[in-house]
Structure 1
Amino acid sequence: MTEHELIAAIIGAAIEVHRRLEPRLRESVYRRCLAYELRQRGYHVVEERLVALEYDDLHEAQCLAC
């Protein structure tokens, strides 16, 4: 699968979630539904993972990244 095909699949799934859900829900609801939609389409999805954060003098060993 090319990068373009992957991007098209993600956008398609996002449009489906947007079409089916009501507006003004929490971002976490949309994120969870998008992950579900992508899994239904056969993609492996990691919703959150721990990463090291470095920003100026801020250094965090582990923080969540979506």
Structure 2
Amino acid sequence: MGLDRSKQGRGPLVAKSVAGTMVVVFGSAIYSAMKIRKRVKDSGMMNPTDEVLQAHRQLEASLIGKL
């Protein structure tokens, strides 16, 4: 009963923490994708590593964005 009372009212705090973490991860994925896109734009061609990284970042950002 004491444990229940100590945890009472913390739901909004946990939800805000999770949402904040997801925003940071989403921003990081977008920033990383933009860096790759800029590097490709400067060099004029995309190497296979950049293609894989770009696809991974786009997938990550789209999945987080849908959540």
- Provide the TM-score with structure 2 as the length reference: 0.35
Query: Relative to total residues, which structure has the larger helix share, 1 or 2?
Result: 2
Query: Relative to total residues, which structure has the larger strand share, 1 or 2?
Result: 1
Larger Rg: 2
